[in-house]
Every structure is written in C-alpha cells, then in structure tokens.
Amino acid sequence: MTDAAISVRGLRKRYRGSRRPAVDGVDLDVARGEVVALLGPNGAGKTTTVEILEGHRDRDDGEVAVLGTDPADGGRTWRARIGVVTQSATDLLELTPAEAVRHFARYYPDPRDPDEVLELVGLADAPRAVVKLSGGQRRRLDVALGIVGRPELLFLDEPTTGFDPQARRDFWRLVRALAAEGTTILLTTHYLEEAEVLADRLTVITDGVVVAEGSPATLAGRQSRPALVGWLEDGRPRTEATATPSALVAALGQHFGGEVPGLSVRRPSLEDVYLELLSAAAPEPALATAGGAR
Amino acid sequence: MTALAPPRLPTILPLGLARGALELRRFFRSRETVVFTFALPTVLLVLLGSVFGDHAEAQGVTSSQVLAAGMIAAGIMSTTFVSLGTDIAGDRDDGTLKRLRGTPMPAAAYFIGKVVLVAVTTVAQIVVMLTVAVAMFDLSLPDTAGDWLTFAWVFALGVVGCSLLGIAISSLARTARSASAVTQLPYLALQFISGVFVNPITALPTGLVVTASFFPVKWMAQGFRSVFLPDSMAAYEPAGTWELDRVALVLGAWCVIGLVLCLTTFRWRRGQDG
Ligand SMILES: Nc1ncnc2c1ncn2[C@@H]1O[C@H](COP(=O)(O)OP(=O)(O)OP(=O)(O)O)[C@@H](O)[C@H]1O
Ligand SMILES: [Mg+2]
C-alpha cells in the first residue's frame, strides 16, 4: 500500500463542443491524512478535476490513482472507502434529513451512527422534508451523506456555500475532527479564510493549470512578503510596506513621542497573495473587460 | 490483537428492498404524482366507457367492457413504461443518480427498488381500474383458475417488459422535461393502433394492426380480453382465436429485448456531464 491517497499526473479533459480544455495537464498529490484545498476562480477546472477523481467524469489523458485505484474502474469496495459531496444536487426532496441519512448508512459496510451524523452537521432537530429546508441546511445534509460511510478519503466541492458564519465555524470544527481521525480530505472553496483554517496545503488552478502550490503560510512566498504598517497622521491613514516592521514602529513611536495613533501591523492576508497570483496569471480580468466594452 | 476481517459490503437484495421502500415513500408523498399517475388511465376509461355506453357488441358483451380489458393493458404501460421513463430521467437530472454513483450502492439495488415501486403502483392502478369497470360497466371478473392464471402471466410479462423498456427509454431523453414527451408519444400511438380505443381491432387498417403486432400493448390487450370476455368474442380477433401462445411469445421477447436495451443503454450521467 502506498502512502498517497491521490496521485494525479498530466490530467487533461476537454468537454465535447468546447474549444479550450477545462483541465490542461494538472499534477496533484495528496498524502494519506492530509487536508488539501483546491483554489481557483469560477470555471478554473476545480469541479472537473474533483469529479474525475470521484469517478463521475471521464478524462481524456493522464494517470490517476485514488486510494490506489483508477476511478474509471472503481468498484463497490472502492466507493465504500470514499465520501463525496458534489457541488449541486436537488434530489431527496420528499424525505426528511433523518430518513435520508439512515437510508444511506445502509449502503456502507461500517457506517457511522446516523443520529450522531445528524448531530454533527446540526440537523438533529430538522424533522421537515428536505424540500422545506433552507439552502444552508440542504448543504449540511449533503455533507452528512458524504461522511455517513466513514470514508478514508472525503471530497468536498464547495461544502460551505450558503452556510451562515456560525454554521461555517461548526463545519470547520467537524472537518478538523475528521482530519484528526485520519480522514484524507480534498476540498474546493472560494473562502480563503476557510482554506487557511482547514488546509495543510493549497493548490491554485486557473484555466485548468496549476499556478501555485504551498502551505497557507508560505503560498507564493507569503512568509517573506514585507509587512504592512498602518497609522494615522494628521487624521489621514498612512501605510508603509517594510521588511523591518519593528524598526519602523520604534521610529514612529519616537516621532509621535509615545502612542502611535491608529497603529496596525499586518502581513499580507492569504487573500491578498491569492488575488495577486491570479492577476499575474491573467492580466485582464474578464469582468473588467466586459465592463469596459459597455 | 487478532486482525479483524474488513466489514463486508451489504448484500444486494435487502438493499434493493430498502430502496423500494424509499421509492414508495417518495412516491406516495408527492401527492400530485400519485393523483395523476392513477387518474389518467382511469379517467380515460370512465370517459370513453361512458361515450361508448352499453352499446352491445355481441354475445351480451358491451363496447365498454371490451374497452375496459384493453385499457387495463394501457394502464400497465402507463405505470411502468411512462412512469419509469420519466422517473429515471428525473433521477438523472436532479442528481439522484449522481449521488448514488458516489456510494457503494450497486446498480442492481437501484433497479430492484424501481421494480418494487412499479409493481406496487401497477397493482394499485389495476385494482382501481377493475373496480371502476366492474361498478360502471358490469365487467365480470374471471371465474376460472385458468383465466386468473392467464391474467397473472400476461400481467407479469407485461409489467417486466414495459418496465425494462421504460428504463431504456429514460436514457433517450436528454432532460427530465423532455422525458414525458418522449414516453407519451409511443404510449399514445400504441394505444391507438393496438385496438385499445378502437374495437374490434380488425376495424383498423391492416398496416396499423401489423405494426402494432410488433409491440407489447396489442398482445397484452388481447390477453386481457381473453380473460375478461367470453370465449365467443375471440371471433373478433385478427386470427379468430385468442392466440395466447403468441401473446406469451411476443411479451417474453420484449422482456429479453428490454433487458438487453437496459444493459446496453443505461447511463448514470446526464448527457452533458462528460
Ligand atoms: N458539463 C460540461 N460541459 C461543458 N463544459 C463544462 C461542463 N462542466 C464544466 N464545463 C466548463 O469547464 C470549465 C471548468 O469548469 P468547472 O466546473 O470545473 O470549474 P470550477 O473551477 O469548479 O468553477 P466554480 O468555482 O464556478 O465551481 C468551465 O469553463 C466550464 O464552463
Ligand atoms: Mg466547481
């Protein structure tokens, strides 16, 4: 048995009728027990990549091993070891969340206790039919069905879309608990904060190509970026980027003769670094072009 | 510590029955589906039966009784072929099949679930239609074991064959919305050319009867007429007899063809999913 949960080399996929490939030579490695987040703008190819790994879509080219198996010929035993939360589903409308989770638990050789799962995702007291659930509650049910089989490897495609801030924090706790049990997790998200909190490693794709990879703290040289020092001078905000923030703060302290008004020192956020990365990869954002043409 | 054998995957049959229970729960909870599934053939039977009235066909048999026997065949096609064709296209469209594909549930369990659903709804459908036909049109239920036996095998072969064809045709529809049109067309056309609405079937142009003879509805209707009408009525059939051996042959053949079509055309994904 290898230590890689997912190993992808040169993955390619072009949808019929579209000119550009959706995935254009992606390499990806996820070790057992690791939590990896796939980031990238809308249409970057995240869902396409993940669904090929889940066995939901065919690939044109590339080598793919998921838990040592090619997803294109993964059988029942293999499916019992993975958990899947896809990006969109509108099924199960007539059932209650409890009925759905209990039913899906039957598919697996060693499922979690359905009531426990409902508790974990915060649906324990939602006796109503799925059709009457809110968007965020539906999404929680998707997550519940993804984890009820006690998967070794869990795919989460934008799992927290529509979650309120409290639900998102609860979900983060759940994911960390799963990771602590040893579950390998590959997730996609548009929330950089979420990626930072959950992932050991980040992979950024745009236009079907990996443009950056690294831990949240070091992505694109984040750790060695200059710090940003902000303060108020004559009532106006000032900012200065510096490699030696302590010296600057000391100098400011002398300048103001004590407290520096409105002082802040921060490193560039993951979002700062990420947006820079994307604008470097695609100098002309599509939306700006559309706006200019109007 | 002794090594534990890895837990076994659940066996298929109980899973299939669990799916059947779930399908039934879903079905009976969507009231609209229930009402329209059962209402359509029954309402047609009531309307057409009243139009034809008790105009005596022959041998003390009325037109509405002949109609009722044929409408039961059509009713089976409605709850199997039409319902399954649209239902499975819907499962493909709303993500049901995709979600299931991400679990270790075997395809066979899904199909067993659908068979359970269809068996229950079809029996319910036939009970409703027979009740109406007996109450309104004095249709008499078969009184010999032989007739009941014929009823049972025509019913069973018809249900299996039409269900398999319904599963197969669901793959032809590109979306759930087009599925109801795709299934209604053969359903309505076959009813017209199979001597369900027009009786006796020999009143139809020969070309239509020959065409209908390639498909199951004509033979189911003929089989049910043999069950519910006196044997003297066989004179009105194209061959002048009930041709039960041929009924069995054609319906059996459609079961085989349906199974092959199912196995070769069934797809988990929507067309555009690649
Ligand atoms: N079924 C499909 N048929 C044709 N093209 C598709 C299909 N699904 C996706 N695409 C195209 O492939 C590209 C990648 O799409 P994908 O869904 O993988 O992006 P994504 O990164 O998941 O985006 P998002 O963040 O919006 O979910 C897009 O250009 C999209 O239009
Ligand atoms: Mg996506």
pLDDT in tens, A251-268: 888 888 888 888 988 877
Instruction: For residue A44, give the ligand 1 atom closest to its CA.
Output: 21
HSE-up of residue B179 (Cα within 13 Å, Cβ side): 24
**A223 vs A194, residue with greater confidence:** A194
| Amino acid making up residue A223 | Q
Q: Which whole-number Å values give the CA distances from A82 to A4, A6, A179, in the listed order? A: 14, 11, 14
Q: Is the pLDDT reported for residue A289 higher than 50?
A: no
Residues A208-215: what's their mean pLDDT?
A: 91
Residues B66-80: what's their mean pLDDT?
A: 91
Q: Is the CB of B272 under 6 A from ligand 1?
A: yes
In chain A, DSSP finds a helix count (H) and a strand count (E) of 10, 12
How high is the pLDDT of residue B3? 54
| Angle (nearest 5°) at CA A189 between A184 and A194 | 80
Residues B263-267: what's their mean pLDDT?
A: 87
Q: Is the pLDDT reported for residue A163 higher than 60?
A: yes
Instruction: Give the pLDDT band of residue A291 (cuts 50, 70, 90).
Output: very low
How high is the pLDDT of residue A228? 84
Whether A49 and A212 have beta carbons less than 8 Å apart is answered as no
Whether B91 and A81 have beta carbons less than 8 Å apart is answered as no
Q: Which whole-number Å values give the CA distances from B211 to B189, B204, B217, B219, in the listed order? A: 11, 11, 11, 12
Cβ-defined contact of A109 to B30 (cutoff 8 Å): no
Distance, CA of B80 to CA of B82 (rounded, Å): 6
Q: Say how many C-beta atoms besides its own lie within 10 A of residue A144's C-beta.
A: 26
Q: Say how many C-beta atoms besides its own lie within 10 A of residue A241's C-beta.
A: 12
Q: Kindly report the protein residue whose alpha carbon is nearest to atom 28 of ligand 1.
A: A43
Q: Is the pLDDT reported for residue B5 higher than 80?
A: no
Q: Is the pLDDT reported for residue B234 higher than 90?
A: no
B267 touches chain A (CB under 8 A): no
Q: What are the structure tokens assigned to A185, written together?
A: 């997790």
Residues B40-62: what's their mean pLDDT?
A: 80
Which residues neighbour A36 within 8 Å (Cβ) at sequence distance 6 or greater?
Answer: A28, A30, A185, A186, A187, A199, A200, A201, A202, A203
Q: Is the pLDDT reported for residue B47 higher than 50?
A: yes
Whether A39 and A215 have beta carbons less than 8 Å apart is answered as no
Q: Measured between CA atoms, how close is B162 to chain A, in angstroms?
A: 25
Angle between the N-to-C axes of helices B107-137 and B63-77, in degrees from 0 to 180, rounded to the nearest 10: 170
Residues A271-278: what's their mean pLDDT?
A: 82
Whether A54 and B102 have beta carbons less than 8 Å apart is answered as yes
A47-57 tens-digit pLDDT = 999 999 999 99
User: A108-117, A239-248, B256-265: which range is least confident on average?
Assistant: A239-248
Whether A183 and A157 have beta carbons less than 8 Å apart is answered as no
User: A204-213, B98-107, B180-189, B194-203: which range is least confident on average?
Assistant: B194-203
Q: Is the CB of A286 under 6 A from ligand 1?
A: no
Question: DSSP readout, A179-225?
Answer: HHTT-EEEEE-S-HHHHHHH-SEEEEEETTEEEEEE-TTTGGGGGGS
The residue of chain A with its CA nearest to that of B268 is A56
Q: Whole-model pTM above 0.90? A: no
Q: Measured between CA atoms, how close is B183 to chain A, in angstroms?
A: 22
Q: What are the structure tokens assigned to B264, written together?
A: 């070769």
B169-188 tens-digit pLDDT = 998 888 888 888 899 999 99
The residue of chain B with its CA nearest to that of A76 is B104
Distance, CA of A107 to CA of A69 (rounded, Å): 20
* DSSP state for residue A75 in the 8-state scheme: -
* Look-up of token digits 């599934």: B37
Whether A151 and A112 have beta carbons less than 8 Å apart is answered as no
The residue of chain B with its CA nearest to that of A92 is B96
Q: Is the pLDDT reported for residue B119 higher than 80?
A: yes
Residues A82-104: what's their mean pLDDT?
A: 91
Q: Kindly report the protein residue whose alpha carbon is nearest to atom 5 of ligand 1.
A: A15
Q: What are the structure tokens assigned to A232, written together?
A: 């108020």
Gyration radius of chain B over CA positions: 20
* DSSP state for residue B79 in the 8-state scheme: I
- % of chain B residues with pLDDT over 70: 95
The domain locations on chain B are: 12-268
ipTM: 0.84
